[in-house]
Structure 1
Amino acid sequence: MSKLHATAFTVTALATVYIGSILAQTSSSGLKAGDSAVVVSDTAPALIGNEIIAQLKKGEHVRVVEVRESWAGVEFNAGGQTRTGWVEQKHLQKTSVATPPPVPAPTTPTSPLPEKSGEWTQWRGPNRDGKSPDVGLLKTWPQGGPPQGWRATGIGVGYSSVAVSNGTVYISGDIGDSLMLTALDTMGKKKWQVRHGPSWNTNPAGSRGSPVVDSGRVYLLSAQGLLNCYDAPTGAGVWQVDLKRDFGGVQEQWGYSESPLIYGNLLIVTPGGRNCIVALNKATGQPVWGSTGLADTAHHASAIAVEFQGLPMIVQMLKGGMVAADARNGRFLWRCARAVGGAACASPVYSNGYCFGATGYNNGGACVRLQAVGGTVQAQPLWETKDMICHHGGYVIHDGYIYGNHLEGWSCLELGTGRVMWNARGVGKGSLCFADGMLYTFSERGGQVGLVQATPQGFQQTGQFAVSGQGQSWAYPVVIGGRLYLRYGDNLYCYDVRGADFKS
């Protein structure tokens, strides 16, 4: 067990997470998330795991962001930067109830944003690996975070991330009894909004899949399995298929959460069941192939395209593990069943002949090495880990290391061996995006956002701030065109993260 999880209060919290409960944000002392407090003891140690990261002094003011039993997770100022740590509540006294940080009216710019918004046309970016092509971005953030460009509301509630293309930002959300697809301009003003189908009201309620943009079309899959194609400039419907009705789809209880994959002229999606993975003509929605030799229940991850020694594959996370099918015809190629169970929400990742996938609920992850044998591809199990138990937030590979969500924090593993380089709490359990050597981490609770160096040498956070919203935030952050997009409930925020040498 890492230092991060050694304290009793964290172990209790993890047990709560495993059974699906939401941690209470109040305590017997009256402190709750959002309160302002002052240190009343001569000194108050601030901890991450068993490590003391700061000694807070009497009279120092803090902001409470989370409460667990006798401990309070607090924000405090250290050397001009906002940091977070755990402090025993006996050292604190509430001073007032803090109001949420002020935000500008929707679509009101507070900083001059770059003219071009960049192209982030699909789930997890241009290469579907969670990595932005932007360079020349800020390496540290000022106290309070980078400049905010705008905030838009009225997109509905849910967990969809944005797709950005041709000066338009696309996102989905539930409004009342309808799942809505919304298009905004680069300043956050609504261009159009259309009804996709019924909303998802089963806990947790809210939209799931993120839109995908290609060749003047927008594609979106609903939790119920409705896959629609729209005209990108206008939102007019083009075609629709129903994964359950048309393909006999079999899905887990929390609904489809996939973002479809565009692969050449094909759209790849995962109904589950006997037609586990299917390829459609992206222009018409007509079936081209269905996977053979593969029958499994669809979970919540989105597929990726991999080419290994000239052999194209579709790699996906299913109930039975990480699998691959031939991208040309859907023929089953290989399966890694080492890390399965619970809910497979995060997409697999690939780099230099290695595929890695991880799930939550104490299952962990596994890595395979690909081998080309007799005109096909096989997967050799390489290593397994319990140091990347990833519920929702995903992981990225950079320079031979995997960075990702692990339980209530973050881990770095060596890709070739699975060796643990570090574990840290940071902003807590959440999702991430990589850009210009940095990890943009976004907590699922309290709107906390952290900037972390992508280095195996140790966890080094260089900025932190918070956005307002309600409930849990499972939407991944997106960095493109010098902009950081953060979705929290019905709020979509856009921040300017350009440095002096910015290039997109």
Structure 2
Amino acid sequence: MLLPLAPRAEDWPQWRGPKRDGVWREAGIVESFPPEGLKISWRAPVGRGWSSPVVAQGRVYVTDVQVTPPTAKERVLCFEAANGKLLWSHAYSVDYPDWAFDPNAGGPRATPIIRDGRLFTVGAMGHLFCLDAAKGEVVWEKSLAKEYQVKEFSGITASPLIEEELLILYICGKPAACVVALDKDSGKETWRALDDSFTYSSPIIVTAGGKKQFIVWTQEAVTALEPATGKTWWRELLRTSGDTAVSTPVSATDRLLVGGLMFKLDAEKPAAAVLWPEARAASQRILSNTSTALLHGDYVFSAKTSGELVCLEAATGKQVWETNTVTELRNGSSIHLTPCDDAGFLFTDRGDLIRAQLTPKGYREISRAHLLEPTSPFGDRKCAWVPPAYANGHVFARNDAELVCASLAANR
């Protein structure tokens, strides 16, 4: 997989990177890991949370929660990217329900987003903040739970998105406020749309048929909205449970993959047709309930629900190959795929970072290193589910105890 690379270091300012597509385009990255393993640049303590780090302007931001029953405080933390020094912290008290004090509940799920010196964060109880990214001072704030009757935790799972001057949130509020667009400078509502139920999937923007389309995957359907107005462009029913619809939609050329459902986007107007599979059962339309697929050229690379990694033909969905060597073959396994140059990085639920080549001919592992310990309880084991951020020649990964920075730069 050869990708155009940026000659300079790139930030990672939102969920799945600069273009929200999970691709790291930075040049000067290691082809393989050193024999002695990855060089850990620094470690910093953090609390519970399932939100990914974001990186901008030499700083790393992450959200977490500190719990001491019966009290809880959610925090937004800002670290210096070079050395892990804590620069500022914004903390606020939250009224977690009793069950949320269990480690299984995690903490904040939505990954922050940075734009024009502002940091936007959403907590598990619906606390929305616009902060000065340099100082941590509050610019404006909202209680989504109060204003939109959002259910705590389950309603606040998707990562926010910014399109033009709008901060667009998938929050499943009421009435008819599943998706809400706010003026990013003031927090004032611009539009609201849909009366659907939550999933863990984060939305994206695609351009097809001459129009920008906001793609959101709810428990009821895949829907394309006009980002400026909230108008529905098209909608395909896809009934799932909230904890099954986890992956982020991905798009390439005229194809859109949502879970395991492939669409062909109309070239003339905002519309879509299902390419595969023909089966309408939700179980046949899900590839993974933990991980987002990679749609690259004529092929799809994806984890499956039990931890296998597969390659599919993008045009037909036909399986080309499968390997069971990436992680454990168990429910809850995850493989987060990040293309970089002619190979990619894979981060697993075991906390391993892998450098590997993915081609239609097969999977070739180049290097593997253990980056951090799994801490999220799941059945009889613990998992590391949070996708890392990649920026400035480094990887930034978190669990429920620490934020880890390791160098991936070549010749350093």
**TM-score, normalised on structure 1?**
0.70
What is the DSSP-based 3-state SS (H/G/I as helix, E as strand, rest coil) of the residue aligned with 2:147? helix
* Pair 1:160 & 2:51 matched: yes
Candidates 312, 336, 346, aligned match of 1:441: 346
- 2: CA distance, partners of 1:289 / 1:338: 24
Q: Which residue of 2 aligns with 1:132?
A: 24
Candidates 254, 263, 266, aligned match of 1:368: 263
Candidates 128, 133, 137, aligned match of 1:227: 128
Q: Which residue of 2 aligns with 1:463?
A: 367
* 1:229–1:240 Cα contact (<8 Å) kept: yes
* Pair 1:420 & 2:319 matched: yes
Displacement after TM superposition at 1:398 (Å) = 2.2
Change (3 A) 1:196 1:306: farther
In structure 1, what residue type is equivalent to 2:357?
Q
Displacement after TM superposition at 1:318 (Å) = 0.7
Deviations 1:406-452 (A, max 9, x none): 1213222222221222222313422232222323222223x222222
CA RMSD of aligned residues (A): 2.2
Deviations 1:105-162 (A, max 9, x none): xxxxxxxxxxx86311110001101111112322222345322211221x21222111
Gaps of 5+ in 2: 1-7, 377-382
Q: Which residue of 2 aligns with 1:102?
A: none
Change (3 A) 1:436 1:412: same
Q: Which residue of 2 aligns with 1:178?
A: 73
- 1: CA distance, partners of 2:249 / 2:92: 28
- 2: CA distance, partners of 1:330 / 1:227: 20
Deviations 1:263-303 (A, max 9, x none): 11100001215112111000010001112xx3211222211
* Pair 1:309 & 2:209 matched: yes
Q: Which residue of 1 aligns with 2:182?
A: 280
Is the radius of gyration larger for structure 1 or structure 2? 1
* 1:270–1:276 Cα contact (<8 Å) kept: yes
Displacement after TM superposition at 1:247 (Å) = 2.5
Change (3 A) 1:415 1:145: farther
* Pair 1:394 & 2:292 matched: yes
In structure 1, what residue type is equivalent to 2:339?
F
Q: Which residue of 2 aligns with 1:330?
A: 230
Displacement after TM superposition at 1:477 (Å) = 1.9
What is the DSSP-based 3-state SS (H/G/I as helix, E as strand, rest coil) of the residue aligned with 2:31? coil
- 2: CA distance, partners of 1:166 / 1:366: 37
- 2: CA distance, partners of 1:397 / 1:466: 26
Quick one: higher RCO (CA 8 Å, sep 6+), 1 or 2? 2
Which shifted more, 303-312 or 238-247?
238-247
Q: Which residue of 2 aligns with 1:81?
A: none
In structure 2, what residue type is equivalent to 1:232?
A
* Pair 1:122 & 2:14 matched: yes
In structure 1, what residue type is equivalent to 2:355?
L
* 2:214–2:227 Cα contact (<8 Å) kept: yes
Change (3 A) 1:400 1:498: farther
What is the 5 A alignment of 1:65-80?
A: none
Q: Which residue of 2 aligns with 1:83?
A: none
Q: Which residue of 1 aligns with 2:303?
A: 405
What is the DSSP-based 3-state SS (H/G/I as helix, E as strand, rest coil) of the residue aligned with 1:246? helix
Which shifted more, 200-209 or 456-465?
200-209
Q: Which residue of 2 aligns with 1:357?
A: 258
Candidates 486, 489, 492, aligned match of 2:397: 486
In structure 1, what residue type is equivalent to 2:179?
I
What is the DSSP-based 3-state SS (H/G/I as helix, E as strand, rest coil) of the residue aligned with 1:315? strand
* 2:199–2:242 Cα contact (<8 Å) kept: no
What is the 5 A alignment of 1:252-271?
A: 254-271=154-171
In structure 2, what residue type is equivalent to 1:283?
D
* Pair 1:496 & 2:397 matched: no
Displacement after TM superposition at 1:197 (Å) = 4.5
Displacement after TM superposition at 1:218 (Å) = 0.4
What is the DSSP-based 3-state SS (H/G/I as helix, E as strand, rest coil) of the residue aligned with 2:17? coil
Candidates 220, 240, 243, aligned match of 2:144: 243
What is the DSSP-based 3-state SS (H/G/I as helix, E as strand, rest coil) of the residue aligned with 2:359? coil
Displacement after TM superposition at 1:255 (Å) = 4.6
Displacement after TM superposition at 1:336 (Å) = 2.7
Displacement after TM superposition at 1:483 (Å) = 0.7
Percent sequence identity is 27
In structure 1, what residue type is equivalent to 2:327?
V
* 1:146–1:495 Cα contact (<8 Å) kept: yes
In structure 1, what residue type is equivalent to 2:404?
Y
In structure 2, what residue type is equivalent to 1:130?
G
Q: Which residue of 2 aligns with 1:209?
A: 110
Change (3 A) 1:388 1:401: farther
